[in-house]
Structure 1
Amino acid sequence: MVFTPASALRRAGSAVLALVLLACCLCAGLVAAPAAHADEWRDKQYWLSESGITKAWEVSKGAGVKVAVIDSGVDAGHPDLKGAVVGGYDASGAGQPDGQKSVGSKPEHGTLVATMLAGRGHQPADAKPSASPGPAGQGPDGIVGVAPEAEILSVSTWLGSTNPSGKSDQDQIPEAVRWAVDNGAKVINISLGSTTPQWPQSWDAAFLYAEQKDVVIVAAAGNRVGGNIQVGAPATIPGVLTVAGLDRKNTASVDASSQGISIGVAAPAEDLLGGLPGGSYAEWAGTSGSTPIVSGVAALIRSKWPTMSAEQVINRIVSTAKDAGVPGKDPLYGYGILNAEAALKDDVPEATANPLGSMAEWIRVHRRGNPATPSPLPTADVPSAVPTLPEATVPAAKAPSQRDSAISAAVVIGFAVLFVAIIAAAAVQLTRAARNPALARDEAETGAVDKVEARRSP
């Protein structure tokens, strides 16, 4: 891991983090979607069936669970969110007190996320009373979210551009997390990301607070096309369930995902569909869309088992994921591809701890047990949460074969022999020079020692 010097971070840290902590996807841009019939909308929501969500609805639809969407604000007036948004808060200082005004550089982002998470669909204006319900028991038009009976808390933040209120991400993010926890959120969705694995020390206490209050936090891994080669904060924070992105072939998305060892699970990230403020729709892509899919599954689990701990919820999601890439946990897929049906139906052994780590333990080791002291900027002397890989490799490279290992070993041995030969030749030359300076001078002029080195090279 290569860190920027502390002086440079002090000059640019807050500004850079604020700029990159924007809605971390829309990596392929937004494409406005024209009006369409119900079947067309349903056909585009492929993740509902392919990720096992429709089967998971046989067990739970998320009733009674509040999910906080920390984002750019959620338009509660969208037809597919009617009755879904039950409260909110503005952490930006530039929005409405209820968090439902769209703010920041990507004002539409929060509504896209919320509709994918807890959209309820809607009846068309000319529908007759006998119109057939959608697969979630909702109207036949619009977006049906992964947890269509969950409730949304909209927590608005201004990220990605200069905040007119002057509040930075260092103030907004911890304030948003604390408010969500204090107002009953059992799941927090953070579809935001940065290009650095570090986070301001001012965030420590808030994420520790969420951990102590038994709240599941789900965060986006980020997207390569947006500059996120490796996973960035807050997805590097221990205990957070980090979501990577998949393409339509269920392989790691080249554009709409990043990589890092903090990734917990992978979910669809391309050809997504969500609602826009004002009631329209858009096609989009990125791990910002993968994240509410996983947050929705967490809500389904918490609805089915209200007393299940956050660490057990996360363990249930990652342990039932379908392994992909290299065997076992890897930096592209984490524990594997989301399987919502298995997460709701399989027997899962109880975990002794959160498989993705503990913020309390990280603070004890790296902050010397003092999470409350604010630090205005991340600095080079503060270790990152989890080291991530420096370069993207999609798809994941295969494990080396025995032949490759043998060749590598032979190369190493060859270099070792060459090094010993050079040292030995140099020692001989020095000895001879000490005994006979004239002879050494003659050999230096004819290049005799170089010939010996060449002759001993493998």
Structure 2
Amino acid sequence: MAGHNRRTFLKLSGSVLGGAFAGSTVVAAERSDRFIVKTEEEKRLSDLDIVFDLPEIGCAVVRGSESDVQQSRAVKSYAPDLEIETADPSVKSQAYEGEAVDDESYAYQWDKQDLDVPTAHQTTKGEGTRLAVIDSGVDASHPDLEVNTDLSRDFTGDSLGAGVPGGGDHGTHVAGIAAAQTAGTTGVAGTAPATDLVDYRVFSDFGGTNGAFSILLAAVVQAARDDCDVANLSLGAYPIPREGLGSFYGGMVNKAMTYANKEGTLLVISAGNEAADLQHDGNVISLPNEGAQALSVAATGPVGYGYALFAGEDLEASPESPSNYTNYGTNAVDLAAPGGDYRINDRYLAPLVDEIPAYAWDLVFNTVSTPLTDDDGNYVGSEPGYAWKAGTSMAAPNVAGAAALVKSVNPDYNANQLESALKRAADVPDGYDKTYYGSGYLNIVDAL
């Protein structure tokens, strides 16, 4: 691999490598002690310390020096693992300080209203399906979430385990959009509340391996191993060069995603928040949403929902309108779904109710959970709550939840059939073209 310019790769991809949570500001660090290796068939890596063994895709993640990797006869080729440090994992967010009550909170959920989720729930709530959230951790103690902690896994090795928001509140918000419970008198609605929700945590703020490229591969493979019908990845890296090391990383992502798809796991992935034209952006690629078998989701959102809700004014933009930050591209995006939008000016910074600024109501309202620490910075628990966030990170789980509903009523569907059903039911809104929508805007009821 010495012929590749690693410095150029890191400089290019590190500027926005992901929004590891799609759209966040990140820094990518090349690991000198962990490597992703392609393995020679029928040769065992007995001379290396294996972190993740992924024979399904012909690779492994190993710990050790580069010289050890070079000397191993079982290694065909390799590249250093990349670890990602993130900041501000959503395009825009706003905390909610009050007590969420089901009826009141549903009024805030313009996304579920526009998708007519209650009508879909008359047919199914996702019974008999399994949905994985590959993210910063889903708080299993949140009263509005029911998490399969037996299958959930921590891929970061920070000793906190799974079912905790060890990488921040992003994953709990994503999980709530897909699968928040609808029974009882408190909380918010998820799209598929009866699905079997699994937490695959790949980010850590507490000393673990944070957002490494290798653990993304491992989590995707694990979703297939655990018979997940859908896996949501509200994360990504952009821009990555298509050549050199970018080709190596892209090839490994494609192998993992192709394997998952073949095993019946539909991968629903956020398109990213850079307002980039992925169709005409040169010799770079956005991963994993432009990887093999990805269902890439762009974001839409209203402008003025708070003023419509509390003052009876007309919306400035409908919930189906493309969000100002969303990535786009006719052949790079497969569907669009509610992810939230916002305007930041005097009108939208002004508070409407309970000192909440007007822009917040145009974001997506759902579950969050704040990590709590002691004086030494050690994780000691979490504080469940609710908040607004916007991003393609929020659009993807609306689609992932919809996929679980479709799978529930069509249990024999494979991953491609699930995706096809969602695409066939979608339409491009009047006045727009496929650039921001791919097949169209998510229509759950017709997909069922």
- Taking structure 1 as the reference length, what is the TM-score of the superposition? 0.64
Equivalences for residues 70-89 of structure 1 within 5 A: 70-82=134-146, 87-89=151-153
- Maintained 8 Å contact 2:13/2:238: no
Equivalences for residues 19-30 of structure 1 within 5 A: 20-24=19-23, 26-30=90-94
Q: What is the identity, as a one-letter code, of the residue corresponding to 1:56?
A: A
Change (3 A) 1:96 1:15: farther
Residue 216 of structure 1, CA deviation: 0.5
- Maintained 8 Å contact 1:325/1:333: no
Q: Which residue of 2 aligns with 1:141?
A: 186
Q: Which residue of 1 aligns with 2:367?
A: 275
Q: Distance in 1 between matches of 2:127 and 2:211?
A: 34
Q: Which residue of 1 aligns with 2:181?
A: 120
Equivalent of 1:211 in 261, 266, 276: 261
Residue 115 of structure 1, CA deviation: 1.1
Q: Which residue of 2 aligns with 1:202?
A: 252
Q: Which residue of 2 aligns with 1:62?
A: 126
- Maintained 8 Å contact 2:19/2:272: no
- Maintained 8 Å contact 1:95/1:103: no
Q: Map Cα deviations across residues 100-156 of structure 1 (whole Å, 9 max, x no partner).
A: 23233xx100100111111114xxxxxxxxxxxxxxxx1122012100100111000
Q: Which residue of 1 aligns with 2:225?
A: 182
Change (3 A) 1:252 1:233: farther
Equivalent of 1:239 in 247, 272, 293: 293
Q: Which residue of 2 aligns with 1:313?
A: 418
Q: Distance in 2 between matches of 1:193 and 1:325?
A: 30
Q: What is the identity, as a one-letter code, of the residue corresponding to 2:366?
A: G
Q: Which residue of 1 aligns with 2:327?
A: 258
Q: Map Cα deviations across residues 294-321 of structure 1 (whole Å, 9 max, x no partner).
A: 0001000111111112111101101110
Select the structure of larger CA radius of gyration. Answer: 1
Q: Map Cα deviations across residues 221-253 of structure 1 (whole Å, 9 max, x no partner).
A: 1113xx756482111113211111112213443
Equivalent of 1:221 in 271, 288, 292: 271
Q: Distance in 2 between matches of 1:274 and 1:140?
A: 15
- Maintained 8 Å contact 1:115/1:145: yes
Q: Which residue of 2 aligns with 1:285?
A: 390
Q: Which residue of 1 aligns with 2:116?
A: 52
In the alignment, does 2:157 pair up with 1:93? yes
Q: Map Cα deviations across residues 155-190 of structure 1 (whole Å, 9 max, x no partner).
A: 00127x8x8445662211101111111112110000
- Maintained 8 Å contact 1:72/1:158: yes
The 3-state SS of whatever aligns with 1:209 is helix
Structure with higher helix content = 1
Q: Distance in 2 between matches of 1:112 and 1:338?
A: 20
Equivalences for residues 302-451 of structure 1 within 5 A: 302-324=407-429, 330-344=434-448
Change (3 A) 1:85 1:139: farther
The runs of 5 or more residues in structure 2 that have no matched partner are: 24-88, 279-284, 303-317, 341-362, 370-382
Q: Distance in 1 between matches of 2:364 and 2:9?
A: 38
Q: Distance in 1 between matches of 2:202 and 2:121?
A: 31
Q: Distance in 2 between matches of 1:286 and 1:312?
A: 27
Residue 202 of structure 1, CA deviation: 2.9
The 3-state SS of whatever aligns with 2:404 is helix
Q: Distance in 2 between matches of 1:36 and 1:19?
A: 31
The 3-state SS of whatever aligns with 1:81 is coil
Change (3 A) 1:312 1:285: same
Q: What is the identity, as a one-letter code, of the residue corresponding to 1:182?
A: R
Q: Distance in 2 between matches of 1:83 and 1:68?
A: 10
Q: Which residue of 1 aligns with 2:166?
A: 103
- Maintained 8 Å contact 1:196/1:232: yes
Q: What is the identity, as a one-letter code, of the residue corresponding to 1:339?
A: N
Structure with higher strand content = 2
- Taking structure 2 as the reference length, what is the TM-score of the superposition? 0.65
Change (3 A) 1:13 1:183: farther
Change (3 A) 1:241 1:10: closer
Equivalent of 2:399 in 266, 289, 294: 294
The runs of 5 or more residues in structure 1 that have no matched partner are: 122-137, 345-458
Q: Distance in 2 between matches of 1:203 and 1:92?
A: 18
Give the aligned CA root-mean-square deviation in angstroms.
Answer: 2.6
Q: What is the identity, as a one-letter code, of the residue corresponding to 1:178?
A: V
Equivalent of 2:213 in 164, 170, 173: 170
Q: Map Cα deviations across residues 336-387 of structure 1 (whole Å, 9 max, x no partner).
A: 111100000xxxxxxxxxxxxxxxxxxxxxxxxxxxxxxxxxxxxxxxxxxx
Q: Percent identity?
A: 27
Q: Distance in 1 between matches of 2:145 and 2:10?
A: 42
Change (3 A) 1:94 1:247: same
